[in-house]
Amino acid sequence: MINPHASETLNPLFVCDPQSHSALAFEAQALPSIIVSSATAANAVMLGAGYFNPLTGYMTKADALSVAENMHTTSGLFWPTPVLNLVERAEEVEAGSRIALRDPNVEGNPVLAVMDVEAVESFSDQEMAMMTERVYGTSDPDHPGAATFNNQGKVTLSGPIQVLNFSYFQTDFPDTFRTAVEIRNQIQEHGWQKVVAFQTRNPMHRAHEELCKMAMEAVDADGCVIHMLLGKLKPGDIPAPVRDDSIRKMVELYFPPNSVMITGYGFDMLYAGPREGVLHAVFRQNMGATHFIIGRDHAGVGDYYGAFDAQTIFDQEVPENALEIEIFRADHTAYSKKLNKVVMMRDVQDHTKEDFVLLSGTRVREMLGQGIAPPAEFSRPEVAKVLIDYFQSIN
């Protein structure tokens, strides 16, 4: 099986021993505590679940700046995005202290993790601007990821953490949320050697379905892990439960039995385009996938990135051998009226735009909101019904 990133064994930070977990939870109630940002909480969940292996906690200021600048920590570990605990102020937190991190996304703000604070440091405006520009490729305050990053504060608390729970993800998505440890175990149970991972924050239409099948065939994969983001999105995106229902319906009806695992992970979308594409590859390697599909405008938003920037970054900025996982580079995929099947546009040079069934996201939403199913060549009718029911419920 493929090794986790930069180590031979996975290092999840969730405290799984019952006695140790109980003792830590008891201790946490007496510790000074802070309610962290949603982004910080999501980082804790990813650390706890093993997706951010081999990190042991939140990065120092020096590591964050180094990662933003050149995708390596000061010790040389390859890592594409800063993993921080940013706060607006921390007058009562000192280096050497032990604090409880409370969850902003669950009623009552339960303790999410316990942190040993090794340093309390501040970023300058110039340093925040540099990190924003390097990670998000823009300083535009309207970029949703850049805005979230800059609205948390400029004080960073660094140090190792021990994670006590997985926020709302395990309770709200019991059939879908899986840790990297659990996915690795499931892959082994299936006996899969080659595994394709597919990232989604949207429902999967016909082109996405066929893309997974194309990738599996191209690399001779034993199975596919559809891995959906379950955390915070930008306003207007379709909620995770609706995406989950539509994807399950598609897999049930249109994939061979036991060829697909439907899973999800607890992270807030960064919308960081190329850098986030690399981060996605890191945690797919940690969960045991050998191949990862990166298509058009992966992890993008608006017009901030080129259509295939999330692919070319692996050629231009990711050092050779930095990751073991292989990238499956996908082109825009659509139904060909000429060939009566879904194809990658790069493979059919004789086609014109009129030869494809193409619908904008805006047009699809309009149709669904009006109770109109998109053409069967674009979206499976059973999937469309799930989405129509949702859009009609909010209209």
Q: 317 with 71: CB under 8 angstroms?
A: yes
Q: Is 80 exceeded by the pLDDT of residue 109?
A: yes
Residue among 134, 202, 248, 329 flagged as catalytic? 202
Share of the chain above pLDDT 70, in %: 100
Residue 303 confidence class, pLDDT cut points 50, 70, 90: very high
pLDDT at 318: 97
185 included as an active-site residue: no
**Sheet of 291-294, strands arranged across:** 260-265, 223-229, 195-200, 291-294, 326-329
Residue 236 confidence class, pLDDT cut points 50, 70, 90: confident
Residue 357 confidence class, pLDDT cut points 50, 70, 90: very high
Q: 374 with 204: CB under 8 angstroms?
A: no
**Whole-angstrom distance, CA of residue 165 vs CA of residue 25:** 10
Residue among 3, 109, 134, 201 flagged as catalytic? 201
Lowest-pLDDT choice from 273-282, 286-295, 338-347: 338-347
Coil, helix or strand at residue 52 = coil
End-to-end alpha-carbon separation of the chain, Å?
A: 47
Residue-wise DSSP of 199-229: EESS---HHHHHHHHHHHHHHT-SEEEEEEE
pLDDT tens, position by position, 12-35: 999 999 999 999 999 999 999 999
Residue 374 confidence class, pLDDT cut points 50, 70, 90: very high
| Amino acid letter for position 44 | A
Q: 371 with 392: CB under 8 angstroms?
A: yes
363 included as an active-site residue: no
Rounded mean pLDDT of 241-266?
A: 94
Coil, helix or strand at residue 98 = strand
Q: 279 with 227: CB under 8 angstroms?
A: no
Structure tokens at 112: 């999410």
Q: Is 90 exceeded by the pLDDT of residue 232?
A: no
Q: Is 80 exceeded by the pLDDT of residue 395?
A: no
Q: 155 with 40: CB under 8 angstroms?
A: no
Residue 286 confidence class, pLDDT cut points 50, 70, 90: very high
Q: Is 80 exceeded by the pLDDT of residue 235?
A: no
pLDDT at 233: 75
**Residue 160 to residues 92, 151, 171, 250, Cα–Cα distance (Å):** 19, 23, 25, 41
Average pLDDT, the chain: 95
pLDDT at 305: 97
Element (H, E) at 112: strand 111-116
Q: Which of 15, 90, 9, 95 is nearest to 47 (CA)?
A: 15
Q: Mind listing the domains of the chain with CATH numbers?
A: 18-170 (3.10.400.10), 176-394 (3.40.50.620)
Residue 201 confidence class, pLDDT cut points 50, 70, 90: confident
pLDDT at 237: 80
pLDDT at 202: 86
